[in-house]
Amino acid sequence: MLKKLKFKKPDTKNSFVTYGLLLVTFAIVKILFEAGKLSYMIKDLLVPLCVYAILAVSLNLTVGILGELSLGQAGFMCVGAYSGALFSNLLEEAIPQVLIRFPLAMIVGGICAAIFGILIGIPVLRLRGDYLAIVTLAFGEIIKNIFASVYLGLDANGFHVSMKTASDLNMDLDGEMLINGALGLNGTPRDSNFTIAFIVLFITTIVAYNFVNSRTGRAVMSIRDNRIASESVGINVTKYKLITFALTAFFAGVAGSLYSHNFSTLQASKFDYNLSILVLVFVVLGGIGSIRGSIVASILLTLIPELLRGSIGKYRMLIYAVILIVMMIVNNGDYFINLKEKISVKFSSKFKKTKKEVV
Amino acid sequence: MGFLSNLINGISLGSIYAVIALGYTMVYGIAKMLNFAHGDVIMIGGYFVYLSSSKLLHLPPVLSVLIAMVACTILGITIEKIAYKPLRKATSLAVLITAIGVSYFLQNIALVIFGANPVTFTSVVSIPAIKLFDGQIVISGETSVAIVVSILVVIGLSLFIKKTKTGKAMLAVSEDKGAAQLMGINVNKTISITFAIGSALAAIAGALYCSAYPILQNTTGAMPGIKAFTAAVFGGIGSIPGAMIGGILIGVIEILGRAYISTQLADAIVFAVLILILMFKPTGILGKKMVEKV
């Protein structure tokens, strides 16, 4: 049936295949879920799976479309997680309906993360390559460290903030501890569930595809391919970089908010450098620039090690590291690029096809 | 007195950062890449010292540091040959991701071999502590050794680069790879030597760092690695005296921040310094200004 639908551009078809795959996967999982065929382990994984997929899709916008490496994904996620959780926690009574409160919390988380993204982006995005990567990494660590040392409490007298200890807050006895330093967030309502998480993932995917295929997206890609040339035809490099960076941060924040509402307590130490690297691994192994690839990679690479826990759990990260290196060398190394050209020349002379892939 | 003793500790930690930063700065200057795995070579060096001095062989400290240096040199050259050399002409994004992959690989292979439990490192320094002002300030043996070693390394390295043929070849490659090649310099060999020296220095840094902070596990190298990179940027990437100055400044900032501002935020302060430098003076204190050519 899909074949009968005529799409104007191959990009549109590509995105609709992804939407279709997502919906089918969701339907199957939902049926299995309702039928009670899923183990507790898988059920617990459903929301984190969506969260990782959102993180990977959003990071792909920066890595794949903008062509810059950001290692601060965990930091933006941390901002989103904390701000979203605080929002829900404070307005739990004011907005009792989960379906209104939770989306608002996610938007708040996303906007807070995007604000951080812009604040960090303005000074930093004029850096490129290695420097940008290390600065985003540094930023992520700063965020993590700051959130891990904040104490925030609420009682009848209002908010109490301290950077030192919980007892410094001087709260009333009936006061509620909102952020407990290194112990993290407290009392977040557990609003996340698989359906909501899936919807957010679906929306993220739609936005990502439309962003890539929009005028803005094409401008961003031209910056990736040749910054100086695109600047010379009047593309505002900083503006488009900032837009991409903010969009990445926004969805990371949404994912963070989704994640924090999946647990009643959450520590800032979860959002460390390794999480950023893990998301990067998803993006790279799924194919830099491929949104569908990011989703598939983040789901498979989270699910497979969990299912095989024990036998390869110990070697999981080691295997990822090896695949990461091998993929980079095969895709970018001189030797393999020459090899691929030779093969394609051979084939094209046989079939008279002169299609050359542009990487 | 408390301030003075913090300052000395800062200089000591900074000296270790300086030795690590030298590895970053040389590799960045010559191969134009950020060797993310450098910090993890420190950790591997630490493990080699640990194995040869206390766990397996019970060798004297100096000998075990030498073994670690040889091992890390081989490791450094191998990493360069396998992972970085095929990507000489690739985009910086690809090289950076590969370097992260190597870093991840080293961390996880150490995790598989040595386990997740941290081991207690026995200090390789047996020099007694120096007491000043009637014992109000105690300079531990580790502190004095770290400072002396880093000064020797910086002087030795500067002489090596200025006086020897290989050193001059390094300078030439860092200026212009193509022109250097035309002058008959073996660029690949020079880059390999750079990695070898950087990794040997990482082994020394590993021994010093683990002697001062005697807990060794697979992630030990990551933080000092990033901070040393900060130091290298601070001092001006590519500059050897810059790495020394940057290292000591970062060490002092970290220790003073830990003592007077907040223990938990000390790392954040160092990273904030990095961001500020990159915002206002990306070339660092002693760095040269780079002009981008189309």
Prediction ipTM score: 0.80
* Position A59 pLDDT exceeds 70: yes
Q: Is B96 on the interface with A (CB under 8 A)?
A: yes
**DSSP track, B67-98:** HHHHHHHHHHHHHIIIIIGGGTTS-HHHHHHH
Residues of chain A with C-beta less than 8 angstroms from the C-beta of B101: 321-322, 324-325, 328
Residues 6+ apart with CB under 8 A from A212: A11, A61, A65, A221, A291
Q: Give me the mean pLDDT over the B111-115 stretch.
A: 85
Residue A205, pLDDT score: 92
- Structure-token pair, residue A339: 């090899």
User: What is the DSSP annotation of B102-133?
Assistant: HHHHHHHHHHHHH-SSPEEPPPS--PPPEEET
Q: pLDDT at residue B189 above 80?
A: yes
For the beta carbon of residue A291, count every other beta carbon within 10 angstroms: 27
The per-residue pLDDT for A107 is 92
**Average pLDDT across chain A, whole number:** 82
What tokens does B150 get?
């880093």
**A253 pLDDT more than 90:** yes
Residue B133 pLDDT level (bands cut at 50, 70, 90)? confident
> Percentage of residues in chain B with pLDDT exceeding 70?
96
The answer for B115, left when phi > 0, alpha when psi is -120 to 50, beta otherwise, is: left
Q: How far apart are CA A339 and CA A332, in angstroms?
A: 11
CATH hierarchy code of domain A9-307: 1.10.3470
Residue B200 neighbours by CB distance under 10 Å:
23
- Band (pLDDT 50/70/90 cuts) for residue B73 is very high
Domains of chain B: 2-280 (1.10.3470)
What's residue A45's pLDDT?
A: 85
Residue A309's pLDDT band (cuts 50, 70, 90): low
Count Cβ atoms within 10 A of the Cβ of residue A97 and give its class: 0-12 exposed, 13-18 middle, 19 or more buried. exposed
Residues B17 and B274 sit within 8 Å (Cβ to Cβ): no
Whether A142 and B101 lie within 8 Å, measured CB to CB: no
pLDDT at A313: 64
Smallest CA-to-CA distance from A205 within A157, A162, A255 is with A255
| For range A73-79, the mean pLDDT | 92
pLDDT at A358 over 60: no
Decide: A109 and A179 in contact? Cβ < 8 Å: no
pTM: 0.84
Per-residue exposure over B1-39, b if at least 16 CB sit within 10 Å of its own CB, e if not? eeeebbbbbbbbbbbbbbbbbbbbbbbbbbbbbbbbbbb
pLDDT for position A353: 47
pLDDT in tens, B85-104: 888 888 778 888 888 889 98
Average the pLDDT over each of A27-41, A215-229, A302-316, B272-286 and give the range with the smallest value. Answer: A302-316
For A291, the token pair is 């949104």
User: Distance between CA A88 and CA B278 in Å, rounded?
Assistant: 37
Q: Which two tokens stand for residue B265?
A: 């935020």
User: Is the separation of the CB atoms in A102 and A88 below 8 Å?
Assistant: yes
Residues 11-30 of B with CB under 8 A from A: 28
R_g of chain A, CA atoms, integer Å: 22
CB distance A236 to A89 below 8 Å: no
Encoding tokens for residue A72? 């601060």
Q: What is the DSSP letter of A313?
A: G
Written as one letter, the residue type at B139 is: I
Range among B46-55, B101-110, B216-225 with highest mean pLDDT value: B101-110
The answer to whether the CB of A232 falls within 8 A of the CB of A215 is no
Interchain proximity A334–B112, CB inside 8 Å:
no
Residue A122 contacts B where some CB pair is shorter than 8 Å? no
pLDDT value, residue A8: 58
Residue A299, amino acid:
I
Q: Is the pLDDT of residue A30 over 80?
A: yes
- B126, B145 Cβ separation under 8 angstroms: no
Identify the pLDDT of residue A316.
77
Q: Report domain extents, chain A.
A: 9-307
Residues of chain A above pLDDT 90, percent: 20
Residue in chain B lying closest to A141 (CA): B268
Question: Is the CB of residue A123 less than 8 Å away from at least one CB of chain B?
Answer: yes
Residues 6+ apart with CB under 8 A from A312: A305, A319
What is the pLDDT at residue A351?
Answer: 56
Spatial distance between the Cα atoms of B110 and B43, rounded to a whole number of angstroms: 9
**Which DSSP state fits B290?**
P
Predicted pLDDT of residue A2: 47
| Mean pLDDT over the full length of chain B | 85
Nearest CB partner across the interface for B271, out of A141, A315, A334: A141
| Residue A102 CB coordination number (10 Å) | 23
pLDDT at position A115: 93
Q: Which of A314, A328, A334 sits opposite B97 (nearest CB)?
A: A328
Convert the pLDDT of each residue in A93-136 to its tens digit: 777 777 888 888 899 999 999 999 998 888 777 776 677 888 88
Residue contacts between A and B (CB atoms, under 8 Å): 133
Q: Which residue has the higher pLDDT, A6 or A72?
A: A72
Q: Return the pLDDT at A359.
A: 45
Q: Report whether pLDDT(A46) > 60.
A: yes
State residue A77's pLDDT score: 93
pLDDT, greater one: A273 or A164: A273
